[in-house]
Amino acid sequence: MMEYKGYIGKVEFDDDANIFHGEVINLRDVITFQGETVGELRSAFEDSVDDYLEFCEKRGESPEKPYSGKFMVRIEPELHKAVAMRAKMDHKSLNAWVHDTLASATA
């Protein structure tokens, strides 16, 4: 993976075409890039992100931010109840419990 200005690019190699190609993965908008060498790939990634930011600016739109820190999860009521009860048993808010559980799972 590559990172530039908070945007993360996932890279793959196409053996048939003998080229690296990638996509920014932390946006809903689609930003792609490619190159034959690592240097070309990095340059294309940075150029694509910069082009995206310039495009948004020209249109008077705010670029999509990579992550806001907020997300909504839909779960069945029984699981919601179980998670809420577990959070209470741990003397935490539901938000704090979910945060700690996700942080632990991704560490």
pTM score: 0.66
* Spans of all domains in the chain: 2-59, 77-106
Closest Cα partner for 4 from 59, 43, 56, 60? Answer: 43
- Output the tens digit of pLDDT for each of the chain's 107 residues: 999 999 999 999 999 999 999 999 998 889 999 999 999 999 999 999 999 999 999 999 999 877 777 788 999 999 999 999 999 999 999 999 999 999 999 98
Output the pLDDT for position 23.
Answer: 96
pLDDT tens digits for range 57-81: 999 999 987 777 778 899 999 999 9
CA distance 63 to 101: 30
- Residue 15 amino acid letter: D
